[in-house]
Amino acid sequence: MMMLRSLNMGCVALAHQFSIPVSSSSSSSSSSSKLLLMVPKGFKHNNWVTCESPPPPPPLNDQTPPALLKERLASGEQLYGAFSVSFSPIVAEILGWAQYDFVVVDMEHGPGGTMAALPVLQVLASTGTPAILRLPANDPVWAKKALDLGPAGIMFPMIENADAAQNAVRACRYPPKGIRGAAFPIVRAARYGLDYSYLDRCEAEELLIMCQVESVEAVKNIPEIAAVEGVDCIQMGPLDLRADMGLLGFPTDSSPSNLLREAEEMVKSTGVYLCGFATADDSPSALMELGYDMVSGAVDVGLLRNAAVADVQQHKQKTKKKKKKLDNSKFSKIL
């Protein structure tokens, strides 16, 4: 009897989740609807069991969410963010409470995939910080898995032309506009099926689609990339651009910077948002002055590296001097 009661409860949840049709009951003892679901042999004769119809879903948290990235950009705000490469939830939580406008979880150069990204997104959500997922490739399977986690934005690397941009956008849209697989009743993006407005908001209204331009050929194709419907931002890739020009080992050569300035003007003339990374050549404030809408100015491992090196340089030298002093004093006593 206990097993049957547990099965009934499971049927309720399963039927509600997948919208199994309900048939009315004519029983005089109850006016509630009934559901008929197939179960294994041995629980009920004819292999069927009756389940009560599910109760209405619990109300969602009515706390006002933070403004969407797209809303803030549309209002003219310039946003300053950071990259999470370590995939450490603790470090990501610090970035969130430090009040960066957004954090990019980097699955292209970081060691983690979607499973490692999930707890990072969860702690960022607890701080009210929008998360952007950077994919390792312009691939619809990676896009599908990333989108199901519910990021505020998704960044596609190495977008070379309009065809690549169209493929990226289609990967973010459900049919008939795209090819994204549908599992919204069970994924985090839709609060595991509890957010019934998800389908109305998840594409044009909420999701920020970012295409990275990282080669000479891609710079030439900026106008056609930006013209693709659904592309919200073009993210400049200064380091890969320098590499594509064969100048990665020549940091003083200004040719990549000159091309980057040309690319920036092209993006600003298209109407899509201009986004980029701060470098040794271009500080965050310099990029803001150049008209960037979003600037990523810090990387979590870089912040830790710089702080660690500075700490060692400051305190280890003092320790060495003190040790040398002690050694000399000992020597003078022996003499």
pLDDT surpasses 50 at 24: no
pLDDT surpasses 90 at 58: no
User: What is the reported pLDDT for 267?
Assistant: 98
Sign (positive or negative) of CA dihedral 247, 232, 230, 259: negative
280: exposed, middle or buried (C-beta count within 10 Å: 0-12, 13-18, 19+)?
A: exposed
Confidence of residue 329 (pLDDT cuts 50, 70, 90): low
Q: Tell me what the pLDDT averaged over the chain comes to.
A: 84
CA-to-CA separations, 53 to 26, 44, 50, 254, 299, in angstroms, rounded? 14, 18, 9, 69, 50
Q: Are strands 34-38 and 48-52 parallel, antiparallel or unpaired?
A: antiparallel
In this structure, of 25-29, 174-178, 275-279, the range with the lowest mean pLDDT score is 25-29
**What distance in Å separates the CA atoms of residue 260 and residue 150, rounded to the nearest whole number?**
32
User: What is the reported pLDDT for 248?
Assistant: 92
Contact status, residue 180 vs residue 201, Cβ threshold 8 Å: no
pLDDT surpasses 80 at 49: no
Tokens of 225: 């990339």
pLDDT surpasses 50 at 33: no
Angle at which helices 89-97 and 114-126 pack, to 10 degrees?
30
Contact status, residue 247 vs residue 257, Cβ threshold 8 Å: no
Confidence of residue 187 (pLDDT cuts 50, 70, 90): very high
Q: 32 versus 140: which is more confidently predicted?
A: 140
Mean pLDDT of 16-31: 43
In this structure, of 71-85, 103-117, 273-287, 309-323, the range with the lowest mean pLDDT score is 309-323
Residue 109 is among the residues annotated as catalytic for this protein: yes
Q: 189 versus 318: which is more confidently predicted?
A: 189
The Cβ of residue 305 has, within 10 Å, a number of other Cβ atoms equal to 11
pLDDT surpasses 70 at 36: no
pLDDT surpasses 80 at 3: no
User: What is the reported pLDDT for 69?
Assistant: 94
Mean pLDDT of 24-46: 41
Q: 35 versus 121: which is more confidently predicted?
A: 121
User: What is the reported pLDDT for 67?
Assistant: 75
The residue annotated as part of the active site, out of 16, 45, 109, 315, is 109
User: What is the reported pLDDT for 89?
Assistant: 98
Phi, then psi, of 80 in degrees rounded to 5: -120, 125
257-265 contacts: CB < 8 A, separation 24 or more? 257/281, 257/282, 259/216, 259/219, 260/236, 261/290, 262/219, 263/213, 263/219, 263/222, 263/236, 264/236, 264/290, 264/291, 264/292
User: What is the reported pLDDT for 128?
Assistant: 96
**What distance in Å separates the CA atoms of residue 181 and residue 185, rounded to the nearest whole number?**
12
> In this predicted model, what pLDDT tens digit does every residue of 133-182 receive, in sequence order?
999 999 999 999 999 999 999 999 999 999 999 999 999 999 999 999 99
User: What is the reported pLDDT for 317?
Assistant: 73
Sequence-distant (6+) residues with CB within 8 A of 18 are 185
User: What is the reported pLDDT for 322?
Assistant: 64
> In this predicted model, what pLDDT tens digit does every residue of 77-113 receive, in sequence order?
999 999 999 999 999 999 999 999 999 999 999 999 9
The reported pTM is 0.77
Contact status, residue 173 vs residue 203, Cβ threshold 8 Å: yes
Three-state secondary structure along the chain?
A: CHHHHHHHHHHHHHHHHCCCCCECCCCCCCCCCEEEEECCCCCCHHHEEEEECCCCCCCCCCCCCCCCHHHHHHCCCCEEEEEECCCCHHHHHHHHHCCCCEEEEECCCCCCCHHHHHHHHHHHHHCCCCEEEECCCCCHHHHHHHHCCCCCEEEECCCCCHHHHHHHHHHCCCCCCCCCCCCHHHCHHHHHHCCCCHHHHCCCCCCEEEEEECCHHHHHCHHHHHCCCCCCEEEECHHHHHHHCCCCCCCCCCHHHHHHHHHHHHHHCCCCEEEEECCCCCCHHHHHHCCCCEEEEEEHHHHHHHHHHHHHHHHHHHHHHHHHHHHHHHHHHHC
Sequence letter at residue 333: K
User: What is the reported pLDDT for 48?
Assistant: 36
Mean pLDDT of 176-190: 95
Sign (positive or negative) of CA dihedral 64, 65, 66, 68: negative
Confidence of residue 288 (pLDDT cuts 50, 70, 90): very high
Share of the chain above pLDDT 90, in %: 71
